């Protein structure tokens, strides 16, 4: 008791004087400040963002029921537009485009693999080459084939790879950008793929949705690359590595189907992969980077559309007048 009585009665409330030690309260304040200064930059921003959201919502977290949307926003959007997305995020309309396309591709695959006796595990069986959907150089006048080829796939590995990738990437993209924009990018990649194949591999058939899938990947890849620092650098590195790994493995399988196909099979062009990727890196990038802007008012979009249209016109001219398939 005598030791306690020797302590100053109001030490915590007295100011620090030169030559005297800091008070306990001041030490605690200094310690808290030091810990705060050493917080990771990304975590600090996230905490401040959550605090601001709660203050705006009267002490409640207005986005506590939008955990899925918050995860999607961190993977798909730069930091400066995440809050805008979360404020308007909903599941209406749901991501019907990617889901519908995937169901259609799976249904066609099952039809030709089950109801039509085909041996399409690694490559195409000769019977499927008579499908009205496949792109065939001898039937280029049937213009729908430049799009419908995406419904036919060359084996289980081929369709599983495309379905998994377009669902994993396409659904979050459609949640953020909605079906019209995602559909524009996807179909731009599909058309670019068939036209490029008709030029650079004019005597080969073409199947698969890889042009559309690579367009989605190309647009997303460019957004991650351009907004790298705003899309959480650690996640950004992981995302880039995942995309590169998928592209390398899928291109390897495509090259195998093209150059090392069994003697009784039919080689398939792989030019659609490359052309779809370029379509995504141009049109896809401008579309996906205009989340909170009017797309039609962005000059980058019209520049990309003009370049894309010029390539399409050249491909049409080539197919009519210059193609070896003639």
Catalytic residue among 69, 158, 177, 273: 273
pTM of the full predicted structure?
Answer: 0.74
Contact 286, 301 (CB under 8 A): yes
Domain 96-322 has CATH 3.30.70.260: no
Tokens linked to 41:
């930059």
Domain ranges of the chain: 96-322
Active site residue 210: yes
CA distance 29 to 12: 12
77 contacts: CB under 8 Å, gap ≥ 6: 85, 176, 231, 291
Asked about 282 being catalytic, the answer comes back as: no
Along the 326 residues of the chain, how does pLDDT read in single tens digits?
A: 444 443 444 444 444 434 444 454 444 444 444 434 433 454 455 545 555 544 444 444 444 557 888 888 777 888 788 888 788 777 777 889 999 999 999 999 888 877 665 554 444 555 677 789 999 998 989 999 999 999 998 778 788 888 998 999 999 999 988 899 999 999 999 999 999 999 998 988 888 898 999 999 999 888 878 777 766 655 667 777 877 887 787 777 777 767 776 555 555 567 888 999 999 999 999 999 887 788 889 999 999 999 999 999 999 999 999 988 87
Three-state DSSP state, 205: strand
Q: Which of 131, 148, 210, 289 is flagged as catalytic?
A: 210
């Amino acid at each position: 008791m005598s030791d306690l009585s020797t302590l100053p009665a109001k030490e915590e409330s007295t100011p620090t004087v030169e030559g005297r030690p800091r008070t306990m309260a001041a030490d605690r304040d200094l310690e808290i400040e030091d810990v705060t200064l050493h917080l990771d930059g990304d975590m600090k921003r996230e905490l401040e963002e959550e605090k601001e959201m709660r203050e705006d919502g009267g002490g409640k977290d207005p986005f506590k029921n939008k955990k899925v949307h918050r995860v999607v926003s961190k993977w798909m959007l730069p930091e400066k537009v995440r809050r805008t997305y979360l404020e308007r995020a909903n599941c209406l309309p749901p991501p019907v485009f990617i889901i519908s396309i995937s169901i259609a591709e799976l249904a066609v695959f099952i039809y030709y693999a089950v109801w039509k006796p085909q041996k399409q595990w690694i490559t195409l069986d000769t019977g499927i080459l008579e499908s009205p959907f496949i792109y065939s150089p001898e039937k280029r006048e049937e213009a729908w084939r430049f799009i419908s080829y995406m419904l036919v796939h060359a084996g289980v590995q081929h369709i599983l790879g495309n379905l998994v990738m377009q669902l994993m990437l396409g659904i979050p993209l459609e949640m953020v950008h909605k079906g019209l924009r995602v559909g524009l990018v996807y179909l731009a990649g599909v058309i670019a793929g068939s036209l490029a194949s008709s030029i650079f591999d004019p005597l080969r058939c073409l199947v698969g949705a890889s042009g559309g899938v690579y367009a989605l990947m190309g647009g997303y890849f460019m957004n991650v690359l351009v907004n790298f620092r705003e899309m959480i650098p650690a996640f950004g590195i992981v995302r880039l590595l995942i995309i590169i790994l998928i592209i390398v493995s899928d291109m390897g399988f495509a090259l195998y189907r093209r150059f090392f196909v069994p003697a009784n099979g039919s080689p398939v062009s792989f030019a659609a992969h490359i052309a779809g990727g370029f379509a995504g890196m141009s049109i896809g990038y401008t579309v996906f980077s205009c989340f909170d802007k009017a797309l039609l008012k962005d000059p980058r979009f019209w520049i990309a559309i003009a370049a894309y249209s010029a390539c399409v016109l050249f491909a049409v001219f080539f197919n009519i007048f210059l193609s070896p398939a003639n």
